[in-house]
Amino acid sequence: MERTLSIIKPDGVKRGLIGEVIKRFEKEGIRIAAMKMIYMSKKDAEGFYAVHREKPFFDSLTDFMSSGPIVVMALEGDNVIQRNRELMGATNYKEAKPGTIRADFATDIEKNVVHGSDSPENAEIEIAYFFSKLEIH
Ligand code: IDP
Ligand code: MG
């Protein structure tokens, strides 16, 4: 059993896609172990995306991620890190497989609706960034 961090980004929340995204997880038998809506400050977003500090898109990405409320979730299931990445689709929605969240809803390489951890190490760090032990069920 594995856990991963999922985020419905500000574009997804603003466009009314919370239910749509959660439905796709639940349909796949992925369990939601923790969930809340939060509003990150620019500093919160910079801390979360610290691995991308040197990237040219870092400033724009952290502005975007602190531009409105987001929904953060800890997802649980077998192989859920990879399964979530498959449901999300490629970072660039133009390269995402048809039927994935990003292919269906993303409008931009940055505004791509969802985040998902990419490894067990990062999943653990990212879940702990938002949730205390008492918030994960
Ligand atoms: P991922 O979200 O698919 O794991 P990462 O490479 O970790 O993709 O990038 C984090 C986020 O940064 C992406 O989801 C996207 O919002 C944004 N991003 C990635 N590459 C670019 C880019 O080339 N231009 C603008 N934004 C980007
Ligand atoms: Mg990533």
**How far is 104 from 112, CA to CA, in rounded Å?**
10
In order, the DSSP letters of 70-102 are: EEEEEEEETTHHHHHHHHH--SSGGGSPTTSHH
pTM here is 0.98
110 lines ligand 1 (CB under 6 A): yes
Query: How would you write the pLDDT of the chain (137 residues) with one tens digit per residue?
Result: 899 999 999 999 999 999 999 999 999 999 999 999 999 999 999 999 999 999 999 999 999 999 999 999 999 999 999 999 999 999 999 999 999 999 999 999 999 999 999 999 999 999 999 999 999 99
CA of 51 to the centre of ligand 2 (A): 9
Task: Identify the CATH number of the domain in which residue 111 sits.
Answer: 3.30.70.141
When divided into structural domains, the chain yields a total of: 1
Give the domain extent around 23: 2-135
